[in-house]
């Protein structure tokens, strides 16, 4: 199958491409700057193409002759606070992609969305939900929507980010400490995505993908500290302070946390439904995966300190 992928240079895409390639699929990755991700071109059957995916003409040019398209474009924060950035990345792009599929005759579309899309009042979830509705309304497109919880794995931006913060902060003030999450391993997600893309029975379905266990955000950060061998004080902030922290962080470059993140965390990121089981996939626990990459990082740091002291 010839597959065109948008947003594949991110965390999930880097794991999905080898999964698709191992099944014999040919993948065309549309990206802004191919030299920055040339390592991806080393995967058999993968080709990188510089393209502005927000340009309808460019989309149609590269979708021509494809059999399927996977859209993984997504942002967790925007430069402003109005929601325009989320709308452009999630809604406007999905609309253009649907039109491009119609113009080029590409019927198979997979959309990587998010658990709780369309719920709550965050711009992130609202725009994800709006994009989903556009896709569902396109009855002439054979679509499948994937709704994962927080995805973890090597090079993730969840456990690795908290690990980085814990390394430099002896005390971590944590917003929304009681928020509930059900992290799912990226290996399980990409395997299920590949199987779903190949299965016509998934057309028109929304696939929820979560891990085997639920945790509070504070429990996950405490687990990160233990796994990394760091003794840190993690202070859960009350709701009013969490909200204030989000407002302050709105103006911090890079937005490590934001008002929109705060609003997203007001809804439990958990589900009693789990589509992974329908593909014969037993969800892997974070306890069986995360120590493999966080623990290795700490081990390397320890070796570096030993070598440094030996030189002295």
- d(CA 173, CA 176) in angstroms, rounded, equals 10
CA-derived radius of gyration, the chain: 20
- d(CA 172, CA 162) in angstroms, rounded, equals 10
Is pLDDT of 179 > 50? yes
Q: Delimit the domains of the chain by residue range.
A: 2-157+184-209
Beta strands at 142-148 and 151-152: parallel, antiparallel or unpaired: unpaired
Is pLDDT of 312 > 70? no
What's the pTM? 0.93
Closest CA to 4 of 74, 89, 108, 93: 108
Confidence of residue 307 (pLDDT cuts 50, 70, 90): very low
**How many CA atoms, within 13 angstroms, populate the side-chain half-sphere of residue 82?**
5
Mean pLDDT of 172-176: 98
Q: Which two tokens stand for residue 280?
A: 């014969």
Question: For the segment 1-36, what is each residue's pLDDT rounded down to a tens digit?
Answer: 999 999 999 999 999 999 999 999 999 999 999 998
Task: Tell me the residue length of the chain.
Answer: 312
Do residues 53 and 89 make contact, with C-beta atoms less than 8 angstroms apart?
no
Confidence of residue 295 (pLDDT cuts 50, 70, 90): confident
Do residues 17 and 43 make contact, with C-beta atoms less than 8 angstroms apart?
yes
Confidence of residue 296 (pLDDT cuts 50, 70, 90): low
For the chain, the average pLDDT equals: 94
> Can you list the alpha helix ranges (DSSP code H) found in 212-256?
217-227, 239-249
Residue 2 pairs with which residues in a beta bridge? 26
pLDDT of residue 108: 98
Percent of the chain with pLDDT over 90: 91
Give the list of residues 6+ apart from residue 241 with CB closer than 8 angstroms, or none: 173, 175
The values of phi and psi at residue 196, to 5°, are -65, -40
Mean pLDDT of 259-279: 98
The values of phi and psi at residue 141, to 5°, are -110, 130
Specify the 3-state DSSP secondary structure of 104: helix
Question: For the segment 46-102, what is each residue's pLDDT rounded down to a tens digit?
Answer: 999 999 999 999 999 999 999 999 999 999 999 988 999 999 999 999 999 999 999
Superfamily of domain 2-157+184-209: NAD(P)-binding Rossmann-like Domain (3.40.50.720)
* Cα–Cα distance list, 196 to 20, 37, 138, 218, 220 (Å): 11, 26, 19, 33, 29
């Amino acid at each position: 199958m010839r597959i065109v992928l948008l947003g594949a240079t991110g965390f999930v895409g880097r794991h999905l491409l080898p999964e698709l390639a191992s099944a014999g699929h040919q993948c065309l990755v549309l990206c802004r700057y191919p030299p920055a991700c040339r390592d991806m071109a080393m995967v058999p059957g993968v080709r990188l193409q510089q393209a502005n995916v927000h340009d309808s003409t460019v989309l149609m040019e590269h979708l021509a002759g494809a059999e399927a398209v996977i859209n993984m474009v997504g942002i967790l924060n925007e430069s402003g606070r109005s929601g325009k950035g989320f709308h452009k990345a999630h809604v406007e792009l999905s609309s253009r992609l649907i039109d491009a599929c119609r113009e080029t005759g590409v019927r198979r579309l997979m959309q990587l969305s998010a658990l709780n899309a369309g719920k709550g009042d965050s711009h992130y979830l609202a725009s994800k939900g709006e994009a989903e509705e556009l896709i569902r309304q396109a009855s002439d497109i054979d679509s499948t929507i994937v709704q994962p919880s927080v995805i973890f794995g090597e090079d993730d931006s969840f456990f690795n980010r908290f690990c980085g913060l814990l390394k430099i902060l002896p005390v971590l003030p944590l917003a929304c400490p009681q928020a509930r999450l059900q992290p799912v391993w990226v290996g399980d997600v990409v395997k299920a995505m590949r199987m779903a893309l190949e299965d016509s029975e998934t057309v028109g379905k929304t696939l929820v993908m979560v891990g085997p266990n639920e945790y509070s955000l504070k429990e996950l950060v405490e687990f990160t500290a233990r796994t990394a061998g760091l003794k840190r004080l993690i202070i859960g902030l009350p709701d009013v302070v969490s909200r204030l922290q989000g407002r302050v962080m709105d103006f911090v470059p890079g937005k490590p946390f934001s008002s929109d993140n705060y609003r997203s965390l007001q809804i439990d990121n958990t589900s009693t439904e789990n589509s992974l089981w329908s593909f014969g996939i037993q969800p892997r626990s974070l306890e069986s995966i995360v120590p493999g990459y966080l623990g290795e990082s700490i081990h390397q740091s320890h070796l570096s300190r030993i070598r440094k002291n030996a030189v002295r």
